Amino acid sequence: MNYAGFLADLANWTEISATNPDFVAAIPTIIESAEKRCYRDLDLVDASVTDTTGTLTTAAGRSFTLPTTYGRFIALDQLGVIVAGAVKPMTPASAGFIDELFPSDTALNTTDIPAYFSRINDTSVLIAPVLGSSYGTVNVQARGNIRPTALSVSNTTTWLTLYAYDLFFSAAMATISGYMRNFGAQADDPKLAITWAQEYETRLVSVRAEENRKKFIYVGTERD
């Protein structure tokens, strides 16, 4: 399914004209709500990226800014410095642990390689020890989950529309059912939105089971 087909399905199931200006204006919100519901409930392999475009120097001290080449990292699974073509993984630790053992923003040794990291906000990571000056500039490998680009007129397909359209459409219908009743009226007639929400939960079970089959239980993994 693609963007045009999705709009046609919405118009058909809701009996709202696809050219209705209020309907057209609501589409981005409906898509955002449906996609976020799906992405938050699913740990998609498709949303996992490995980004090696970030760089680090001694001057950065204990701070590393996460790259956004593929999008903002929602969950960060692994961070590692790339030295001489090899990834040197860092161990996740608390910010307090790092502050206690490595309080300085200045490199202690010219050959130090960061061994620990702690995410402190959406964009920054605390690392330690500070990269030694003998390495100059190094790339950093960041691995984790991002929010895929939203469905739109310029991005006509997504993983959800191609492989889990039933789930995505159920989420969209649960949202638009509230829109059709202006949300407040759901207290008097909530059945349509509830029915689609239940349909979403039913389909979520099968999609999640299929997605889990793509994953392995790795030796040394910290994820279930």
- 155-168 tens-digit pLDDT: 999 999 999 999 99
Q: What is the dihedral of CA 164, 42, 202, 170, to 10 degrees?
A: -50
Whether the pLDDT of residue 4 is over 60: the answer is: yes
What percent of the chain has a predicted confidence (pLDDT) above 90?
Answer: 64
Q: Give tens-digit pLDDT for 165-206.
A: 999 999 999 888 766 654 444 444 556 566 777 777 877 876
pLDDT confidence of residue 224: 44
Q: Are 141 and 73 part of one and the same domain?
A: yes
Of the residues 128, 146, 164, which one is the last residue of a structural domain? 146
Residue 38 placed within a domain: yes
Are the C-beta atoms of residues 136 and 111 closer than 8 Å to each other? no
Q: Give tens-digit pLDDT for 60-105.
A: 999 999 999 999 999 999 999 999 999 999 999 999 999 999 999 9
- Averaged pLDDT score across all residues of the chain: 86
Q: Are 126 and 181 part of one and the same domain?
A: no
Report the distance separating Cα 192 and Cα 169, nearest Å: 14
Plot region of 183 (φ>0 → left; ψ -120 to 50 → alpha; else → beta): left
* Residue numbers of the domain that contains 172: 3-44+148-212
Q: Are 111 and 165 part of one and the same domain?
A: no
One-letter amino acid at 214 equals K
pLDDT confidence of residue 196: 72
Q: Are 158 and 137 part of one and the same domain?
A: no
Which has the higher per-residue pLDDT, 14 or 182? 14
Are the C-beta atoms of residues 77 and 43 closer than 8 Å to each other? no
Residue 175 placed within a domain: yes
Q: Are 8 and 57 part of one and the same domain?
A: no
Q: Which two tokens stand for residue 130?
A: 């500070």
Counted domains in the chain: 2
pTM, two decimals, is: 0.75
Which has the higher per-residue pLDDT, 215 or 163? 163
Confidence of residue 214 (pLDDT cuts 50, 70, 90): low
